A and B are shown apart, each in its own frame.
Chain A
Amino acid sequence: MSAPAASDALLRMDRCTIRFGGLTAVSELDLHIGGNELVGLIGPNGAGKTTVFNLITGVYPPTEGGVYFRGETLRNQKPHQITAKGIARTFQNIRLFPSLSVFDNVRVALQLNRRGGFVQALLRGPDFHRAERQVEAEVVEILDIFRLGRFRHTMARNLPYGDQRRLEIVRALATKPRLLLLDEPAAGMNPTEKVDLMRLIQFIKEKFNISVLLVEHDMQVVMGVCQRVSVLDYGVKIAEGGPEQVRRDPKVIEAYLGDKIGAENSK
């Protein structure tokens, strides 16, 4: 499968470079993600994968080049503005709101699309209560889709690890994104959980009709679900293409396994 033409890309990174002092973390990266596409971004530790996420979500502005979402530049946009435009993310190390319940974790994200006014919040009239009921119903709905409904009243910090990961994905989805960025969702999962996760990612893509950019370490997961894979090494894109094609790419094998072993493994 080839990359979609730049014009109909949902997200387009155009020769993005970021330097921290003398270190070039990401160098002249071109990346396109089309509508309803599931793209993987892989690479060894320190290859700059998470930095790519931070570039897209506005945590760092690119030193050179630009990021475009639905044809609009994301330059000078703050993270919360970028989320409002339709890009949601999860974090490599889980970052839920520990002192909020599972229910309220999702509600914070859901209320993005319906901010009540300050005066309304103080007067607490019928409109206020109606808006609250509506958000609550939506939270219940999305929690039930992902079978987290029974944890509704649990504090987020008390959830089992796998469910915390899942809740983070649900919370990101609650912002109603067009593009979902998943940062190593399989980290710390056992093989069974990984299979579940792959199903979940597929399900999300179909059910919500969104695009997914998956940063992952775990080859099994990436190769299992992604339609297209980009490989980063030291901040440079060294390969791109379908999973099979990338898997056999000598440059990728070298980056992951080193010269010799890689050559033997590819036989």
Chain B
Amino acid sequence: MAYRSHIILVAAILASFVVSSYSPHLNAYYLDVAINVGVNIILAVSLNLINGYTGQFSLGHAGFMSVGAYASAAVTMYLGPRLFGERTSLLFFPALLTGGFVAALAGLAVGVPSLRLKGDYLAIVTLGFGEIIRVVFRNTEALGGALGLQGIPPYANFFWTFGFAAVTVYVVTSLVNSTYGRSFIATHDDEVAASAMGVNTTKFKIIAFVVGAFFAGIAGGLYGHFKQSINPTGFDFIKSIEIVVIVILGGMGNTLGVILSAILLTLLLEKLRDFGDYRMMLYSFLIIVIMLARPQGLFAWPLRRKEPAPKP
């Protein structure tokens, strides 16, 4: 079926719309957890494009997320009133896209000079980028400094979050099942061989990085417009690690696995709240156990990417 992916995308967006129209009847806590799940799906699936499929170890995803969060909040909080005289939810969609594009630009700015580095070195550079961004936001008074931005209008809901999660999954799987995806994986497997086969590895690494950063920015925008406040500390190194852990547990280069692990780990972190101070300790312990038991990822069953069945 040539258009199966389109149908799934439309169905997923419709489903999130239907669920969203019932969400006022939902317990606010459950809704909060659900939005966290959705945001983490967007973050993990987009990071998987960079770390999993293309094999470029990035630790800067929370940095891109914060860029998107601040940029989109700036649009709805400051630009909206200037243009229309009041805050309007009409601006939410353009604001999210703005957040995505600004994050993508940041991705381009970080990616171009640093993607010639490999493995650990790239990880350190992206880690450094994330920290720089955080410090910049903390020291920019116009964006609230260390306190961050408060009173962001609560435009994000179930529909927007899961609608965008569906779009993220669609974009990543579409890219993966095209000339792009084969080039990403070839770059991941063997850069020297890939370029000898005519693959411009630099170009594909940058594409993966920019697309990944774009969706991290979208996730940031959704997060900000749901929580109604953002501050630099929320986007620190720990957040980046959290997303990397989701990707590794889901299985590098396995979108379905990463979605499942985003759901599982977000719920797990919520459940562990019952243990108070021991929460992070238990969380880390569980991750160690899972990693020892299933180093290939929790959901790494042999379905990878489907082969086409060419007609004779």
Q: Does B41 contact A (CB under 8 A)?
A: no
B185 touches A99 (CB 8 A): yes
Q: Which residue from chain B places its CB closest to the CB of A100 in the assembled complex?
A: B185
CB proximity of B207 to chain A, nearest CB, Å: 8
Q: Complex: how many Å from CA A111 to CA B201?
A: 14
The CB with the most chain B CB atoms within 10 A, among A83, A121, A137, is that of: A121
A121 touches B194 (CB 8 A): no
Which residues of chain B come closer than 8 Å to A153, judged between CB atoms?
307
Q: Complex: how many Å from CA A182 to CA B210?
A: 36
Question: Which candidate, A19-27, A36-44, A102-110, A186-194, is the interface stretch facing chain B?
Answer: A102-110
Q: Which residue from chain B places its CB closest to the CB of A114 in the assembled complex?
A: B179
- Residue interface bits A95-132, CB-to-B below 8 A is 1, else 0: 11111110110011101101110100110100011001
Q: Does A175 contact B (CB under 8 A)?
A: yes
Which residues of chain B come closer than 8 Å to A91, judged between CB atoms?
192-193, 196
Which residues of chain B come closer than 8 Å to A152, judged between CB atoms?
307
Q: Does A242 contact B (CB under 8 A)?
A: no
B196 touches A83 (CB 8 A): yes
Q: Does B227 contact A (CB under 8 A)?
A: no
Contact flag A97-B178 (CB < 8 Å), given A80-B199, A136-B308: no
Q: Does A148 contact B (CB under 8 A)?
A: no
Chain B interface size band reads 35 or more
Which residues of chain A come closer than 8 Å to B199, judged between CB atoms?
80, 108, 112
B180 touches A121 (CB 8 A): yes
Q: Complex: how many Å from CA A83 to CA B308?
A: 26
CB proximity of A231 to chain B, nearest CB, Å: 25
B188 touches A175 (CB 8 A): no
CB proximity of B147 to chain A, nearest CB, Å: 39
Q: Complex: how many Å from CA A35 to CA B2?
A: 43
Contact flag A129-B2 (CB < 8 Å), given A57-B196, A108-B183: yes
B189 touches A175 (CB 8 A): no
- Residue interface bits A127-166, CB-to-B below 8 A is 1, else 0: 0110011001101100000000000110000000000000
Which residues of chain B come closer than 8 Å to A57, judged between CB atoms?
196
Q: Does A74 contact B (CB under 8 A)?
A: no
The CB with the most chain A CB atoms within 10 A, among B171, B192, B196, is that of: B196
CB proximity of A145 to chain B, nearest CB, Å: 15
A111 touches B189 (CB 8 A): no
Q: Does A262 contact B (CB under 8 A)?
A: no
Which residues of chain A come closer than 8 Å to B192, judged between CB atoms?
59, 79, 91, 95
Q: Which residue from chain B places its CB closest to the CB of A90 in the assembled complex?
A: B196
Q: Complex: how many Å from CA A267 to CA B96?
A: 83
The CB with the most chain A CB atoms within 10 A, among B195, B198, B253, B311, is that of: B198
A124 touches B198 (CB 8 A): no
A107 in complex: contacting residue of B182, B194, B195, B207, CB < 8 Å:
B182
A121 touches B178 (CB 8 A): yes
CB proximity of A168 to chain B, nearest CB, Å: 9
Which residues of chain B come closer than 8 Å to A111, judged between CB atoms?
179, 182-183
B5 in complex: contacting residue of A59, A114, A124, CB < 8 Å:
A124
Q: Does B140 contact A (CB under 8 A)?
A: no
Q: Does B30 contact A (CB under 8 A)?
A: no
- Residue interface bits B134-167, CB-to-A below 8 A is 1, else 0: 0000000000000000000000000000000000
- Residue interface bits B250-265, CB-to-A below 8 A is 1, else 0: 0001000000000000
B310 touches A97 (CB 8 A): no
Q: Does A219 contact B (CB under 8 A)?
A: no
Q: Does B6 contact A (CB under 8 A)?
A: yes
Q: Which residue from chain A places its CB closest to the CB of B171 in the assembled complex?
A: A122
Which residues of chain B come closer than 8 Å to A79, judged between CB atoms?
192, 195-196
Contact flag A112-B182 (CB < 8 Å), given A95-B192, A122-B175, A139-B310: no
B6 touches A124 (CB 8 A): yes
Q: Does A263 contact B (CB under 8 A)?
A: no
4 tightest A-B CB contacts, nearest first: A112-B198, A121-B178, A95-B193, A83-B198
A-B contact pairs, 19 of them (CB 8 A): A57-B196, A80-B198, A80-B201, A88-B196, A88-B197, A91-B192, A95-B196, A99-B253, A104-B185, A108-B186, A116-B180, A118-B207, A124-B2, A124-B5, A129-B2, A140-B312, A172-B196, A172-B197, A175-B198
Known A88-B196, A124-B178; further 8 A-B contacts with Cβ < 8 A: A83-B197, A84-B198, A101-B307, A121-B180, A132-B308, A140-B310, A174-B197, A175-B198
On A, residues with C-beta under 8 Å from B are 57, 59, 78-80, 83-84, 88-89, 91, 95-101, 103-104, 107-109, 111-112, 114-116, 118, 121-122, 124, 128-129, 132-133, 136-137, 139-140, 152-153, 171-172, 174-175
